[in-house]
Amino acid sequence: MAASEEVPADRKPGWGSFGVPIKTLGGLQFWTDIHFFHDWRIQKNVFTGHCRLLDGKNYRHAWGTFSDCLGRLEEIRREQQLPPMSGRAVVLVHGIVRTSQSMKAMREPFEQAGYRVFSFGYPSTQITIEESADLLHRAVSSLEGIQEINFVVHSMGGLVVRAMLAKHEDKRIRRIVMLGVPNLGAHMADRLKGLSLYRAIFGPAGQQLVTDPDGLIAKLPAPKCEFAIIAGARGTENGYNPLIPGDDDGTVALSSTRLPGAADFMTVSCLHSFLMYSREAIEAAVRFIQTGCLRASGQRQPIPDETEPRGTGHSRGGTSRGDENGPQSRSESESDS
C-alpha cells in the first residue's frame, strides 16, 4: 500500500492526529490489520480506505493515510524508546464472522512460553479468502526483526493462511496449528450457500467454503512447513450435527479437517466455536509450536501425504528441527490421549 492511500478528498495529511487517544472497538468487520509493531497496529478500513493507529488497548492515536499513521508510530517509538522487535512470534488468525478478540484465550499461554503474540484481525465477511490472504501477508511482512513466525488458526483462518502460503513465501514461518479448519470444505456451506440470509451474513468468503472439487479450497496446497490439526469431535458415529456426515464439531466434519501431510493430529471433545477456548486444545497448540508434538507423551499421529514418494516420510517437516529427541509417530488407529 502506497503512503498516498485513498483518503477523502477534503482531508489533508495528518487530519486524524488529534493528540487525544480515543477508545475504539478494535476493528470488527470493517477493519483489517496491515502493520504490527509490538502492541501497536495500523488498521485500514475496507470501505473508506483510510487508516488508523491503535495501541494495545484499542485506543486510536492517529488516523488518515497509512503514511500519517506510520509517521505517528515512529514518533511514539522515539518518545517511548521502544526497541526493535526480535525473537519468536505466534500469529493468531480467527475464523469467519469472528474478530481477533475471539482468539484472546490463546495469547497469555503463548506469551508465558516466550513468544510475541500478534492477533490478526480482518473483515472476514466483506472480502474473499484470497483478499484476506494478501492482507495477512502484508501484516506478517511488517514483523521486522522477528526471526521465527508460527501460526495458530481457527476455522476459515486456516484457509486464509493456506492461501497466503500458496502465493507468498516467508522463510521465517516454522509451524502451524489448525483448530477446526474445514481443509476439505464445509458441508454446511454446501447446504446454505444459496440462502439470502447466509449470503448476507457470511459474504463472498462464505461462498468459497463449499466442498466443490473445482472450488478454491480444493486448489489450495498443503503448507510446506510443519503443521498439526486439532479437531473438535463428539466421538460418535453421527457427531453433534445430523446434517453433517460422520463425526463433527457441530459445524465442520471431522473428516474435512484431515489435511494430508499433517505432522500430527488429535481430537478434543468440543464444539467448533469454543475450540480456541479449550484448555486441552490450547495446551496442545503451545506444545506443538514448541516441540512439534501435540501430546505430552511425544508421540504423533501424522496424516500421510499420499502424493509424497515412498520412503520420504508420512508428513511434512519430518523430525522436528531444534527438538532434542524428535517426536515419535504412532499408528493412526491408536486413541487420542
Is the pLDDT at 300 greater than 70? The verdict is yes
Local confidence band at 284 (pLDDT 50, 70, 90 cut-offs): very high
| 101 plus 201 within the same structural domain | yes
Q: For strands 148-154 and 88-93, give the pairing.
A: parallel
Q: For strands 328-329 and 22-23, give the pairing.
A: unpaired
| 65 plus 192 within the same structural domain | no
Interaxial angle between packed helices 104-112 and 279-291, expressed in degrees from 0 to 180 and rounded to the nearest 10? 40
Which of the residue ranges 69-83, 170-184, 266-280, 323-337 would you say has the lowest mean pLDDT?
Answer: 323-337
Is the pLDDT at 248 greater than 70? The verdict is yes
CATH of the domain at 168: 3.40.50.1820
Nearest to 66 by CA among 23, 20, 13: 13
Nearest to 292 by CA among 172, 148, 117, 174: 174
CA–CA distance, 225 with 263 (Å, rounded to integer): 9
Range of the domain at 257: 86-314
- Looking at residue 161, its pLDDT comes to 99
CB 187 within 8 A of CB 160: no
| 65 plus 43 within the same structural domain | yes
> Is residue 336 in some structural domain?
no
| 20 plus 144 within the same structural domain | no
Is the pLDDT at 3 greater than 50? The verdict is no
> Is residue 28 in some structural domain?
yes
For the chain, the straight-line distance linking the first and the last C-alpha, in angstroms and rounded, comes to 46
CA–CA distance, 193 with 320 (Å, rounded to integer): 40
| 295 plus 187 within the same structural domain | yes
Q: How many residues does the chain have?
A: 337
Q: For strands 22-23 and 59-64, give the pairing.
A: antiparallel
| 16 plus 90 within the same structural domain | no
Of all residues in the chain, the percent with pLDDT exceeding 70 is 85
- Looking at residue 26, its pLDDT comes to 78
Is the pLDDT at 128 greater than 60? The verdict is yes
C-alpha cell at 101: 478478540
Q: What is the pTM of this model?
A: 0.87
Is the pLDDT at 8 greater than 70? The verdict is no
- Looking at residue 306, its pLDDT comes to 77
CA–CA distance, 166 with 285 (Å, rounded to integer): 23
- Looking at residue 309, its pLDDT comes to 56
| 238 plus 304 within the same structural domain | yes
| 72 plus 130 within the same structural domain | no
Spatial CB neighbours of 74, under 8 Å, sequence gap ≥ 6: none
